[in-house]
């Protein structure tokens, strides 16, 4: 049994966190520096953006977790520390500050930054904020979740309890990211903690497998960020027999992991920049898993589908169009499409052609906060789900003048 619990990234044994305003942002009520520290060194796995332009913190983090272990995470918002000539130097200094204030070796620190690209990040506010940040370390997942937000409107944290070999384990996470979101290996920033004992190799295996059906199926605007970092740290303090190979325990762990990542994906999509609703595309009946994934993501990525969802307009022709150019192996003359939500279901397309439906009924279904575009390819046994949101005036507004 997997049960939702409180505590976010601090729910698993051994993890403390905090978030403060240190002055990277001008707005003094907005926290901009977060820290997560484990009592012990943790098996650690990460996946990063595939963008060739990579934030400097990613380069430093890669080096620091190369041995499969880490003990702390430091993150700032308000500045991505990307495309800056001195970026790596600043990221290294952030790790050194963690060592100086917590005793965790700089080489065991995961560092991340999020915000504007191409503006130099000053180390001064971070150095000045460290004392307050470390003094407040405790059961403060919420403060850390707040401190990593950029244009996010709600903080995102989650935790579950589960069992491995009869031993109670926990897994928790915080994350952020509502624009420049089309992860390709990971989303903007997500930090997952668990007290389950998992070897670094199995942790990496679990994470890399999981993102294919979680974060890689999420898209707000099809812009793959330069700073995407997904990191999981396993303290092992739950006391289960360490997972060192695939098997029943590994499967149980992967299931809990997917509960966390998929729930977070839904939250990220629902809070997409300017979004008024969460749009989920479920593709089934596909010839292959790959075909299902490509098809679902193409629908979620279409600006025209997204704008139609904003207008609660049952313009299913745009869904067919997006399926047609997806690059997936499918038979357009077999496709069925339904729109569903808490308000009901409306069947709009059968075998690739329109069927009569009530526009009024469709409007009612599509006016909900969560809408599902259900696509049946009737061509095989594979399925996939992608998450996104509608395209709104506010998305344009937020991104027409982000830097000022």
Taking the complex as a whole, the smallest distance from the CB of residue 224 to a copy of itself amounts, in Å, to 4
* Residue 111 tokens, joined: 């560092």
Strand 344-350, strand 189-194: pairing = unpaired
Distance of CA 280 to the CA centre of its chain: 15
Place of tokens 């745009």: 318
| 51 touching a copy of itself, by CB under 8 A | yes
| 291 touching a copy of itself, by CB under 8 A | no
User: Contact with a copy of itself (CB under 8 A): which of 310, 339, 340, 366?
Assistant: 310
Contact (Cβ atoms closer than 8 angstroms) between residue 322 and residue 335:
no
Which of 17-25, 39-47, 285-293, 346-354 is the region at the interface with a copy of itself (rule: CB under 8 A)? 346-354
Nearer to a copy of itself, 167 or 398 (CB): 398
| 222 touching a copy of itself, by CB under 8 A | yes
DSSP 261-274: HHHHHHHHHHTSTT
Phi and psi, residue 102, nearest 5°: -125, -15
What does the alpha-carbon distance between residue 375 and residue 338 come to, in Å, rounded to a whole number? 7
Taking the complex as a whole, the smallest distance from the CB of residue 332 to a copy of itself amounts, in Å, to 5
User: Contact with a copy of itself (CB under 8 A): which of 323, 366, 372, 384?
Assistant: 323
| 59 touching a copy of itself, by CB under 8 A | no
**Alpha helical stretches, state H, 152-247:** 200-211
- Please report, for residues 160, 215, 286, 329, the alpha-carbon distance to residue 258 in angstroms, rounded to integers and kept in the order given: 11, 10, 22, 27
Q: Strand, coil or helix: what is 392?
A: coil
| 80 touching a copy of itself, by CB under 8 A | yes
What does the alpha-carbon distance between residue 365 and residue 345 come to, in Å, rounded to a whole number? 7
What does the alpha-carbon distance between residue 304 and residue 283 come to, in Å, rounded to a whole number? 18
User: Contact with a copy of itself (CB under 8 A): which of 303, 342, 345, 369?
Assistant: 303
Which of 143-151, 209-217, 308-316, 366-374 is the region at the interface with a copy of itself (rule: CB under 8 A)? 308-316
Quick one: CA dihedral 20, 24, 28, 31, positive or negative? negative
* Residue 56 tokens, joined: 């400097």
Taking the complex as a whole, the smallest distance from the CB of residue 394 to a copy of itself amounts, in Å, to 9
Residues 82, 187, 194, 226: which is the catalytic one? 187
Give yes or no: 229 in active site: no
| 322 touching a copy of itself, by CB under 8 A | yes
Distance of CA 168 to the CA centre of its chain: 25
Taking the complex as a whole, the smallest distance from the CB of residue 336 to a copy of itself amounts, in Å, to 12
| 26 touching a copy of itself, by CB under 8 A | no
Taking the complex as a whole, the smallest distance from the CB of residue 322 to a copy of itself amounts, in Å, to 7
| 122 touching a copy of itself, by CB under 8 A | no
Nearer to a copy of itself, 242 or 313 (CB): 313
| 396 touching a copy of itself, by CB under 8 A | yes
What does the alpha-carbon distance between residue 199 and residue 290 come to, in Å, rounded to a whole number? 29
Which of 21-29, 199-207, 314-322, 365-373 is the region at the interface with a copy of itself (rule: CB under 8 A)? 314-322
What does the alpha-carbon distance between residue 97 and residue 105 come to, in Å, rounded to a whole number? 10
Count, residues in the chain: 404
Nearer to a copy of itself, 246 or 332 (CB): 332
| 330 touching a copy of itself, by CB under 8 A | yes
Quick one: CA dihedral 78, 83, 85, 91, positive or negative? positive
User: Contact with a copy of itself (CB under 8 A): which of 30, 88, 99, 119?
Assistant: 119
Residues found near a copy of itself in the complex (CB under 8 A):
49-54, 80, 82-85, 116-120, 179-180, 182, 184, 221-226, 301-304, 307-308, 310-311, 313, 315-318, 320-325, 330, 332, 349, 352-354, 391-393, 395-404
Residues with catalytic function: 187
């Amino acid at each position: 049994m997997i049960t939702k619990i409180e505590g976010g990234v601090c729910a698993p044994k051994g993890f403390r966190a905090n978030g403060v305003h240190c002055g990277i942002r001008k707005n003094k009520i907005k926290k901009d520096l977060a820290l997560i520290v484990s009592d012990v060194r943790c098996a650690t796995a990460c996946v990063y953006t595939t963008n060739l332009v990579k934030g400097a913190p990613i380069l430093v983090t890669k080096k620091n977790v190369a041995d499969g272990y880490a003990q702390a995470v430091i993150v700032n918002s308000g500045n991505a520390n990307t495309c800056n000539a001195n970026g790596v130097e600043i990221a290294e200094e952030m790790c050194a500050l963690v060592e100086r204030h917590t005793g965790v070796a700089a080489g065991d620190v995961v560092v991340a930054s999020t915000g504007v690209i191409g503006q130099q990040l000053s180390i001064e506010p971070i150095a000045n904020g460290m004392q307050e940040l470390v003094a407040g370390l405790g059961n403060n997942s919420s403060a850390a979740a707040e401190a990593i937000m950029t244009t996010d409107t709600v903080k995102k944290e989650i935790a579950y309890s589960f069992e491995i070999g009869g031993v109670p384990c926990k897994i928790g996470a915080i994350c952020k990211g509502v624009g420049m979101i089309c992860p390709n290996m990971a989303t903007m920033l997500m930090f997952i903690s668990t007290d389950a004992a998992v070897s670094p190799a199995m942790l990496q295996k679990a994470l890399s497998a999981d993102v294919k059906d979680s974060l890689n199926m999420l898209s707000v605007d099809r812009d793959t960020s330069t700073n995407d970092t997904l990191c999981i740290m396993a303290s092992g303090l739950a006391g289960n027999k360490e997972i060192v190979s695939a098997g029943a325990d590994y499967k149980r762990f992967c299931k809990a992991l997917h509960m966390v990542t998929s729930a977070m994906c839904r939250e990220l999509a629902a809070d997409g920049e300017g979004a008024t609703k969460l749009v989920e595309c479920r593709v089934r009946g596909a010839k292959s898993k790959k075909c299902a994934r490509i098809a679902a993501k193409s629908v979620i990525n279409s600006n025209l589908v997204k704008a139609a969802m904003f207008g609660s307009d049952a313009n299913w022709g745009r869904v067919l169009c997006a399926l047609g150019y997806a690059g997936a192996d499918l038979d357009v003359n077999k496709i069925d499409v339904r729109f569903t939500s808490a308000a009901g279901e409306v069947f709009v397309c059968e075998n690739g052609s329109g069927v009569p439906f009530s526009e009024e009924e469709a409007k009612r279904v599509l006016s909900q906060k969560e809408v599902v575009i259900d696509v049946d390819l009737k061509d095989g046994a594979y399925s996939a789900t992608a998450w996104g949101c509608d395209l709104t005036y506010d998305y344009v507004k937020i991104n027409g003048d982000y830097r000022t």
